[in-house]
Chains A and B, each alone.
Chain A
């Protein structure tokens, strides 16, 4: 080989190495960082990775599970206690495969089953953003799991059953907007973590995706997104869904319980286009399952008694806001007549709203929400059962009656 050519190859190779090294060190541009921050919001990293009154992203939030308590990790760029020494490859491996840089298995409370759908480009943007947040020195709190769940190798079994690795694949028969919505809902939004039933093994089955379930430990019911009898959005307008996701209130109902947290920390920050894309996808999930017509209720003697006890309580305590006919004054006083959330098979949420009351989250679109008072201290178990039964069975609503025992059990539900 002539010397000049050899030198040329060497020079080119050296230049390539230099360029790639520079690319490694090149600071990400402002657009990438802004995108990373936006996507971190869409993924709601902050909700779990920040403890109450703790430093942002420094972890330490206890997450109670049926298997024991997990403590979330420090994801600030502190080199010794955070993820400051991680490369973007290692970060992607965590998001995509649920593995630590040393190959260790991550507990699936971290929703890598959803985040696996996130593209490499989006993962890199989140990584770049997290490198710019203030580093916090906080050593991760060890998990407190009961035997045998403290054995990490059990995660292998869980993964075999419930984890399917793979970036989101667009469906070419659907619109770009639908695909964007699906990508956000199934991926960063990790909606399935609550809206798919959790089985005894702590997993959620793909065949039951978005069919709803009781959230373990929290005692709130995450309704089905596929059935119009629950939170299926098939007969909501796109505008109503967007309002619900971004403002926390809509003409059809307000967010409450754990969903209030999601809107407060995450969904309110979505662009209008992304919120609309999610709405398009969510609405399509419930297409084809049109709401069933109410069956003429055949009240038993007990039901009629509950309803007759419930009406005067409703008229006294509820009607001034929700109206004598349950029509409410949307968006601030939600309608109860025809409200899916009240008629679901699970009466947990309706009973808890009466016991605990609640404020929708204060969002940019609804900064001063109207609150519902708690009634736990004013109404007896019998009265709660009566008024919830009345609401669930009046004005064409077709929910089942509830018992005083159900009301009593939920008095002990964790509030906060």
Chain B
């Protein structure tokens, strides 16, 4: 399988660990259901990024599932965390949003669905560690502007719509500054009480 998906390696690394490009995400160790949903969304144009849309256009579901299973099972080391250049206040705001959310604007905590260790939950909620700030803020922007969408109800579109520009910056700065998790696996299915209905993650 590694040889078949060498096409992915130049952007995502041979083991899906990510590369030096800050916009290309780590794939390794994310739940297979999440990876599969993204592959289908890129293939069918629900998530827009032309190089990915182009590569996947004529690949059948069964093969995309195998690709997802392949990268979900890999556990390459995490990169060194980003050394934050943002102020303590911004990082503290990010930490609050990630761990507690913001009751006033109705933003749920990231950890409510992505897990207290932010490793994600089976089958389709991704881990948030090992990603760069640029990638995280670009994805939150993508949801707000509709270039990234998921099965309805699209919970992340709702969450991204509730965040201010400063919130996005703070969340991205905090998440990218976190060290590698001790246990890089994701939470079992149904183990977290999700505050929002999500089309890709049946409760």
Which of A's residues lie within 8 Å of B, judged by CB? 52-53, 260-261, 263-264, 321, 356-362, 367-378, 414-416
Contacts and interface: CB of A to CB of B under 8 A. Distances in A.
A46 B66 CA distance: 26
Contacts of B7: 357-359, 370-374
A326 B55 CA distance: 23
Contact of A356 (B4, B54, B56): B54
Contacts of A358: 7, 54-55
Contact of A373 (B6, B50, B56, B63): B6
A378 B10 CA distance: 8
A370 B3 contact: yes
Contact of B62 (A367, A372, A377): A367
B199 to A, nearest CB: 14
B60 A53 contact: no
A362 B59 contact: yes
Contacts of A359: 7, 55-56, 58-59
Contact of A374 (B5, B11, B44, B66): B11
B45 interface: yes
A416 B52 CA distance: 9
Contacts, number: 79
Given A261-B58, A264-B58, A361-B58, A368 B4 contact: yes
16 contacts: A260-B57, A357-B7, A359-B59, A367-B62, A370-B3, A370-B4, A371-B8, A371-B55, A373-B6, A373-B9, A374-B10, A374-B11, A374-B51, A378-B10, A414-B50, A416-B53
Contacts of A369: 4, 59, 63
A374 B19 CA distance: 14
A112 B7 CA distance: 38
Given A368-B66, A371-B55, A374-B11, A52 B44 contact: yes
Contacts of A376: 51
Nearest to B12: A373
- For the complex of A and B, the 5 pairs showing the least CB-CB separation, nearest first, are A371-B7, A361-B58, A373-B10, A264-B58, A415-B50
B44 A53 contact: yes
Interface of B is mostly: helix
Given A264-B58, A362-B60, A367-B60, A416 B10 contact: no
Given A358-B55, A368-B66, A378-B10, 5 more contacts: A359-B7, A359-B55, A359-B56, A369-B63, A416-B50
Contact of B55 (A263, A264, A357, A414): A357
B58 A373 contact: no
A47 B50 CA distance: 19
A368 B44 CA distance: 18
B21 interface: yes
A52 B43 CA distance: 9
B54 A371 contact: no
Contacts of A371: 4-8, 55
Contacts of B99: none
A124 B55 CA distance: 37
B58 A362 contact: yes
Interface of A is mostly: loop
B174 to A, nearest CB: 28
Contacts of A415: 50-51, 53-54
B57 A261 contact: yes
Contacts of B54: 356, 358, 415-416
B11 A377 contact: yes
B69 to A, nearest CB: 12
A52 to B, nearest CB: 4
A414 B55 CA distance: 13
B200 to A, nearest CB: 15
A264 B50 CA distance: 19
Contacts of A368: 4, 63, 66
Interface string B1-25: 0011111111100000000010000
A391 to B, nearest CB: 18
Nearest to A358: B55
Contact of B57 (A367, A372, A414, A416): A416
B46 interface: yes
Nearest to A52: B45
Contacts of B50: 414-416
Contacts of A52: 44-45
A183 to B, nearest CB: 26
A415 B52 CA distance: 9
Contacts of B60: 362, 367
A34 to B, nearest CB: 22
B63 A362 contact: yes
A378 B11 CA distance: 9
A379 to B, nearest CB: 10
Contacts of A356: 51, 54
Interface string B58-98: 11101100100000000000000000000000000000000
Contacts of A367: 60, 62-63
Contacts of B10: 357, 373-375, 377-378
A264 to B, nearest CB: 4
A52 B149 CA distance: 15
Given A371-B4, A373-B9, A53 B45 contact: yes
A103 to B, nearest CB: 36
